[in-house]
Amino acid sequence: MVNVMGFDIGGVNIKGAFVTYSSNTDYDLKTLSKYYPMWLHQREKFPLLLQGLIRELAGTQNIDYFGITLTAEVSDAYYTKKEGVIHVLTTFANIMPEVPKKVISTHNNFLSLKAALEDVMAVASANWVASALFVGKNFPKCILLDIGSTTIDIIPISDGHPDTIGKTDLDRMLNGELVYTGALRSTIPSLARKVPLRGAMCPISFEKFALIADVHLLLNHITQEDYTCDTADGRGKTKQEALARLARIVCSDINLLSESELYEIASYLYERQLDQINEGLTQVLKTRDEYDLTVPVIITGLGREFLAKKVAERMGFQEIYDLESVLGYQGAIASPAAAIALLIAEDHEVS
């Protein structure tokens, strides 16, 4: 038996997983996700947060390995990606230093902390590699759609390994493999410049008056508990408050617009988000003749049902599999952290 702690350190959410592993059919997995916008918090608080999450996940059980990935270096908490990677990894180096730590890389392998600090760009924003390698064990040729709170990874997988053109965030965005829209934090101007209102297309204000989370809350895609980020106005997460925020995007309010008008706007914005995802997936397919609508699509992340599955169904994919069936609901939301823990545990058992 081996116990492994996996972490996916994002700039907005920190996701952890703890697996007690005997075999690939006999293991216990516990996961959690903590909203922690890195740019709003002092760096000295980060180690205390990690230590608290470790205690919450593992309790008094021993830990044999840590698995780590990060995307926090993208946030403007750091001046450069290198600065962010070094901060996160050196923090881990000082936590339980006697426990070996492995960092997933875009080379499709794990590096030691020392090697990762010597090749920071190989481990920067590599969490998609962990999910792809885990999925590839059961689906050696497929397309993985991971839709989190902020972004979407579109990962072709071939021979059990990620088959992306890009390795960095920039290159993946250029190739449609990273789409900067998500289930919660996307701003409305990132989706549309105009919305339907009273028989016309009304321009919107380019302010952060509302988030796509408000749209998905109104359309019953998420619950208040799923709405884990801050609201745009700092108020609550009821549907009435979401309607009020949505009204502001056209410089109005809930006393001046009807609920039916606001729900029409919400439905329109949802369709525009689906279009963005469709565009990215279509771009990926056009660059690879070997992937067609018969290739299985694996969905994971918070937006897997109402975004990933919806787009895959509309495009005509014949096989769609939800990673929740393997990792559970919380595990699917924290799939990179869970994948890292399970990959290291399995490698340990094999070795």
As given in the structure block, the two tokens for residue 92 are 């881990």
Average pLDDT, the chain: 95
First to last CA, the chain: 12
User: 32 Cβ partners below 8 Å, 6+ apart?
Assistant: 15, 16, 53, 56, 57, 330, 334
Alpha-carbon separation of residue 142 from 127, 321, 340 (angstroms): 18, 10, 19
d(CA 281, CA 296): 13
pLDDT value of residue 349:
64
Give the start-end residues of each E strand in the chain.
2-9, 13-23, 26-35, 65-70, 101-104, 110-112, 142-147, 152-158, 161-162, 178-179, 194-197, 200-203, 297-300, 320-322
pLDDT value of residue 312:
98
pLDDT value of residue 351:
47
Least confident of 103-107, 180-184, 288-292: 288-292
d(CA 125, CA 255): 44
Residue 150 has pLDDT above 70, yes or no: yes
Eight-class DSSP state of 211: B
Domain 2-175+287-350, what fold?
A: Nucleotidyltransferase; domain 5 (3.30.420)
> What percent of the chain lies above the pLDDT cut of 90?
92
Alpha-carbon separation of residue 299 from 67, 180, 294 (angstroms): 22, 17, 15
Residue 42 has pLDDT above 80, yes or no: no
Residue whose token pair is 């021993």 = 62
Q: How many CB atoms within 10 Å of residue 262? A: 24
Residue 350 has pLDDT above 70, yes or no: no
Average pLDDT rounded to a whole number, residues 163-185: 96
d(CA 106, CA 171): 13
Domain 188-278, what fold?
A: Nucleotidyltransferase; domain 5 (3.30.420)
Average pLDDT rounded to a whole number, residues 97-105: 97
Average pLDDT rounded to a whole number, residues 108-132: 96
Sheet of 13-23, strand order: 26-35, 13-23, 2-9, 65-70, 101-104, 110-112
Q: What does pTM read for this prediction? A: 0.94
d(CA 103, CA 110): 5
Least confident of 39-43, 135-139, 318-322: 39-43
3-state helix, strand, coil in the chain (%, to 5): 40, 20, 35
* Ranges in the chain annotated CATH 3.30.420.40: 2-175+287-350
d(CA 154, CA 125): 14
Average pLDDT rounded to a whole number, residues 62-68: 97
pLDDT value of residue 282:
97
Average pLDDT rounded to a whole number, residues 24-43: 87
Average pLDDT rounded to a whole number, residues 198-218: 97
pLDDT value of residue 22:
87
* Ranges in the chain annotated CATH 3.30.420.190: 188-278
